[in-house]
Amino acid sequence: MRSIDNILFDLDGTISDSYEGITKSVSYALQKMNIDPPRDRTELRVFIGPPLRESFSRYYDMNAEQAERAVMLYRENYNARGMLDCKPYDGIVDAIKLLHEQGKRILLATSKPENAAIKIIEHFGLTEYFHFIAGATDDSSRVEKADVIEYAIASSGIDRTRAVMVGDRLHDINGAKATGLISIGVLYGYGNKRELTDAGADFIAETPHDIVEIIGN
């Protein structure tokens, strides 16, 4: 790997194990729209990572108006009780602190609304380690991962040739490729090795410690 100074992290599935808060909020939105959510909430894991509008449209055949209402209902529950129903993955806090100690500039690039992302990073006690937090806008004008990454790059003035995107889903890898970044796909989140390699991940990390090792080498 070329020398890396800037590390962009995805949030859900990469830093935050957000299964409980997200799947409960998806179930809430579906119920409010008179759609029976799956009895096995693990089926809703597919909602973790991609933009919500995309997932409601894809998995529940919603049109644009319906998907917009579903997102509104989701946020009604998520903002009230689901946002902080999450925890950092084992080892990821230590990895972030170590990279920070090594002089790396750490950024967040998430499809989650920016205000929510800021609160979660604060909840984990990691604010001091992040140079910049980039998230989606509430009005959907910035929601695709490539747009979020580009926003982070422009706002921070970083050299994209010395930056890497770390994430657990194909959206993170595709966003990195679209913006000219190297990518690391992680296997401890909600994606899998085939998804990440098919998307073209440059490196694969099984654990948070592997992220540090890959960047160091």
167-196 pLDDT per residue, tens: 999 999 999 999 999 999 999 999 999 999
Which of 10, 12, 168, 210 is labelled catalytic?
10
Q: How many domains does the chain have?
A: 2
> Tokens 């998806």, residue?
26
Q: pLDDT grade, residue 1 (50/70/90)? A: low
CATH code of the domain covering residue 95? 3.40.50.1000
- In terms of domains, do 172 and 106 share one? yes
Q: pLDDT grade, residue 51 (50/70/90)? A: confident
* Nearest of 186, 132, 189 to residue 16 by alpha carbon: 189
- In terms of domains, do 133 and 174 share one? yes
- Whether the per-residue pLDDT at 2 is higher than 80: the answer is no
pLDDT of residue 138: 79
pLDDT of residue 63: 97
Is residue 10 annotated as a catalytic residue, yes or no? yes
- In terms of domains, do 77 and 125 share one? no
pLDDT of residue 141: 83
1 within a domain of the structure (yes/no): no
Give me the domain span that covers residue 62.
Answer: 19-82
CATH code of the domain covering residue 43? 1.10.150.240
- In terms of domains, do 96 and 130 share one? yes
Task: Mark which of 82, 99, 125 sits at the end of a domain.
Answer: 82
The fraction of the chain above a pLDDT of 70, given in percent, is 100
pTM equals 0.89
Give residue-wise pLDDT tens across range 109-143. 999 999 999 999 999 999 999 999 999 997 778 88
Q: 3-state DSSP: the chain helix, strand, coil percent, rounded to 5?
A: 50, 15, 30
111 within a domain of the structure (yes/no): yes
Using DSSP's 3-state secondary structure scheme, residue 52 falls into: helix
Mean pLDDT of 56-68: 96
Task: Mark which of 63, 82, 101 sits at the end of a domain.
Answer: 82
Q: Residue 66 and residue 55: Cα distance in Å, rounded?
A: 12
Using a 10 angstrom Cβ sphere, with 0-12 exposed, 13-18 middle and 19 or more buried, the burial of residue 91 is middle
- In terms of domains, do 13 and 107 share one? yes
**Which amino acid belongs to residue 105?**
R
pLDDT of residue 115: 93
